[in-house]
């Protein structure tokens, strides 16, 4: 009988519990034992490792729709890759993780994480040398190469869209604009998708430079005196500091445009998982289980042309734009961004949405 482990790492999002529940269900049908590692790598830094045995009763299917992770994603001040690197203990940290995994006698580990987690897994792959490592991509940022969707993205778009829908009503009542700051880090996918969904008048993303005066002129020339402007958290405004929505709001106010900044914050990472994310999580879970059966390792599940398959982690790393991780020295992460030929950019342009100074 195989024993497999499940671990969620990085930021949380909707769809994690769906993936966990589906993995457990599929493993049970195969006659496998499933262990859940608590708090990500934190759970491997204690003796004995913090794990729970998972079965259908631990995570009922009706709870699989809930946001967050049933296994938790880690504690803020616990020893992890970041704090280990800061204190010069990365080698000892890696040895501890390997020792803990060996003590669990796992045949395979399913790691559900974002681009940082997967980049770390590849950079420190010796940790997982005694088992099969299967990774499932999740992030509301959708900044991961080689997959057309990540678990959690669709729900985040819905959450941000719903937030803006409600603001639109009060915006209309008071003849004002709302500058809504989205999550997404250095990737503008979340802002772009939600902006088009809500009918924003402007969408500012890190991938496209913008001119604040052109934005002001665009808003002043609009055939309305209210609406939504979505700015991704990764944008910058030369000569100004602070939260992007605040910076843009102050500029609009100076130009005589009545507005308020608004911050949906972590509500974008919450909310009942949408059907689209539940289906994707189920497909990824099934693919991960099949990969274990096929003796694959160091692979990631991916959605390509509506087909779910596995791709080597080495290809995941090589296919993205490689940048230095701001928190972990010497770590290079593989990233994806809004492409200049993304069809949604043309759609937004045709709908009269200001996107910046596109070439």
How far is the C-alpha of 246 from the C-alpha of 275, rounded, in Å?
34
Does residue 225 have an active-site annotation? no
Whether the CA torsion 222, 226, 232, 235 is positive or negative: it is: positive
How far is the C-alpha of 159 from the C-alpha of 285, rounded, in Å?
24
How far is the C-alpha of 336 from the C-alpha of 189, rounded, in Å?
10
Catalytic residue among 39, 42, 141, 143: 141
How far is the C-alpha of 220 from the C-alpha of 310, rounded, in Å?
49
Distance of CA 8 to the CA centre of its chain: 12
Q: In terms of DSSP bridges, do strands 51-54 and 33-37 run parallel, antiparallel, or are they unpaired? A: antiparallel
* The two structure tokens encoding residue 171: 């915006």
What are the catalytic residues?
Answer: 141
């Amino acid at each position: 009988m195989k024993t497999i482990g499940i671990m969620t790492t990085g930021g949380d999002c909707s769809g994690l519990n769906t993936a966990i529940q589906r993995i457990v269900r599929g493993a049970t049908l195969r006659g496998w034992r499933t262990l859940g590692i608590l708090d990500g790598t934190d759970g491997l830094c204690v003796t004995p490792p913090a794990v729970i045995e998972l079965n259908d009763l631990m995570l009922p299917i009706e709870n699989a729709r809930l946001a967050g992770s049933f296994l938790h994603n880690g504690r803020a001040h616990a020893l992890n890759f970041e704090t280990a690197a800061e204190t010069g203990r990365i080698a000892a940290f890696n040895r501890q993780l390997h020792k803990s995994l060996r003590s669990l006698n796992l045949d395979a580990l399913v790691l559900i994480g974002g681009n940082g987690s997967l980049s770390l897994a590849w950079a420190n792959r010796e940790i997982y040398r005694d088992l099969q490592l299967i990774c499932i991509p999740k992030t509301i940022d959708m900044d991961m190469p080689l997959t057309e969707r990540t678990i959690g993205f669709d729900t985040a778009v819905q959450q941000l869209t719903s937030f803006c829908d409600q603001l639109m009503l009060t915006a209309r009542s008071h003849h004002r604009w709302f500058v809504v700051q989205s999550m997404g880090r250095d990737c503008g996918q979340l802002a772009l998708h939600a902006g088009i969904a809500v009918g924003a008048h402007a969408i500012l993303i890190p991938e496209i430079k913008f001119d604040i005066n052109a934005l002001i002129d665009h808003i002043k020339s609009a055939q309305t005196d209210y609406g939504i402007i979505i700015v991704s958290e990764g944008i910058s405004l030369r000569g100004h500091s602070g939260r992007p929505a605040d910076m843009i709001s102050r500029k609009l106010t100076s130009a005589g445009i009545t507005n308020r900044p608004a911050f949906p914050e972590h509500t974008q990472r919450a909310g009942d998982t949408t059907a689209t994310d539940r289906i994707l999580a189920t497909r990824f879970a099934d693919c991960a289980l099949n990969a274990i059966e096929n003796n694959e390792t160091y692979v990631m599940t991916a959605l390509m042309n509506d087909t779910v398959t596995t791709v080597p982690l080495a290809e995941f790393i090589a296919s993205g734009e490689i940048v230095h991780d701001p928190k972990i020295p010497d770590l290079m992460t593989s990233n994806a961004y809004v492409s200049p030929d993304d069809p949604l950019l043309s759609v937004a342009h045709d709908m009269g949405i200001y996107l910046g100074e596109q070439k």
